[in-house]
Amino acid sequence: MLWLLLFALVAVLIGGIVGLPTVMATGVVTGIVALAALKCPSRFLLAAFWIWLEGMLLYLLFASHDRTLSAFGLPRPALVMLAGLWLAPILLWPLGFALTYKKWTGRE
């Protein structure tokens, strides 16, 4: 996992310097998940987080110019960003933590 974390952060650095947002997005999501993996007891949970975050970021990168209006009169990508990256993870991450809590406390 540490090698994965290192490569992910190098990808974010290179993506940031060269201006490659897709590389940067994949790097940061992988970096966050690899860092969490140092102690998170569930690989399934980490895989779910990775897929969720990566999917959201890639959608936002490739659909950012979509002007289709959705709920609250917001363009669809703005709503996906607010609902999928800001509000939904409030349930997902803490719920994941609570569900794997016993494993986490028992593992130490």
**Interface residue list for other proteins (CB under 8 A):** 2-3, 5-6, 9-10, 12-13, 15-17, 19, 21, 24-25, 28, 31-32, 35-36, 38-40, 49, 57, 60-61, 64-65, 67, 69, 72-75, 77-78, 80-82, 85-87, 89-98, 101, 104-105, 108
Q: Strand, helix or coil at 47?
A: helix
Q: Which is nearer to other proteins, 51 or 98 (CB)?
A: 98
- Minimum Å gap between C-beta 43 and other proteins is 13
For residues 9 and 31, the answer to whether their CB atoms sit within 8 Å is: yes
Helix, strand and coil content of the chain, in percent to the nearest 5, comes to 80, 0, 20
Task: Considering the complex, state which of residue 6 and residue 51 has its C-beta at the smaller distance from other proteins.
Answer: 6
Closest C-alpha to 32, from 16, 15, 51: 51
Closest distance to other proteins from the beta carbon of 50 (Å): 12
Residues recorded for the chain: 108
Q: Which two tokens stand for residue 93?
A: 């991450």
